[in-house]
Amino acid sequence: MAKNLKNLFPGLAYVPGDTFVHRLHPLPKLLLLIVYSVSVIIFSQVVPAVALFFILLVFYGRSGLGPVFFLRKLRVILMFGLLMMLVQVISVRQGTLLWEYAVFGGVTLRVWSAGAAAGLVMMLRFINIIASSYLFVSTTDPNKLAYALMQVGLPYRYGFMLITSLRFIPVFTQELTIIRNAQMAKGIDLEGVTPGKALRAVKYLLTPLVICALNKVDYLAVSMESRAFGLFPGRSYLFEQSVDKKEWLFLAACTVLLLAGGLFLTRCY
């Protein structure tokens, strides 16, 4: 399960760096992501969608995540986008006929202008939404994001839910390896496809993992509460995650440009 998810979104994790995109404070960055996504949804013509795609590429460029990252990590998304386009191209039959090709036995492939446009827009919107979120995750330190969100009003219990789960990912990965080793030492072979075997394999993996997790959670709860977690409805913070005035200005400028530019392009074409 986890492995499948990983294949679908390879390397969906923070990539530390020191570029303009990395340094932008998490809050304006998150808001910018929202504004961008809204623009993607509102402006559904071909030209604005292409423009938005180029803006995204510019941000990818500025963040130091080059085309290799884009093509490699978003491989599945790109392929899925292409597939969506193909379906549209084949199924929509309006506008002018652009291209025709006789396959065999009287079956002819026809590409219509409206189909091509609809396909292109659908693919671009899909890619824009996913790739922009990907960029956000890749360039934002989740720890900073959580602390920033808590300081602007996210209840701190939720913030620490995120932080502790990030904290425990490496811990559980390690536990999982140990459990696999212990299974091998006892001759439990998980290579097998019969349903009975698979079921047992899951049981043999989950039982110790859940027990270990519960154990850790007990420790963690004691450790957090003995340090007054949950005593007051609010808490103070050692580091103020303040947003620079320039960053707010940047966000405002981007918002105006995106919306105005989108409107302009929609009107013109």
Calpha distance 58→70 (Å, rounded): 12
Please, are residues 245 and 25 in contact by the beta-carbon 8 Å criterion? Answer: no
Place of tokens 């920033």: 148
Q: Which two tokens stand for residue 150?
A: 């808590």
Interface with another protein includes 223 (CB under 8 A)? Answer: yes
Interface with another protein includes 16 (CB under 8 A)? Answer: no
Per-position x/- string for 225-254, each x denoting binding to another protein as judged by CB under 8 A, each - no binding: xxxxxxxx-xxxxxxx--------------
Q: How far is the CB of 155 from another protein (least distance, A)?
A: 14
Of 107 and 228, CB closest to another protein? 228
Residues 125-164 that bind another protein (CB under 8 A): 143, 147, 160, 163-164
Q: How far is the CB of 175 from another protein (least distance, A)?
A: 7
Among 7, 94, 181, 242, binds another protein (CB under 8 A): 181
Place of tokens 């993607």: 40
Among 102, 185, 193, 268, binds another protein (CB under 8 A): 185
Interface with another protein includes 221 (CB under 8 A)? Answer: yes
Q: How far is the CB of 197 from another protein (least distance, A)?
A: 12
Please, are residues 73 and 145 in contact by the beta-carbon 8 Å criterion? Answer: no
Of 185 and 193, CB closest to another protein? 185
Q: What is the dihedral of CA 241, 247, 249, 251, to 10 degrees?
A: -100
Note the residues at the interface with another protein (CB under 8 A).
143, 147, 160, 163-164, 166-167, 170-171, 175, 178-179, 181-189, 203-204, 207-208, 211-212, 215-216, 219-232, 234-240
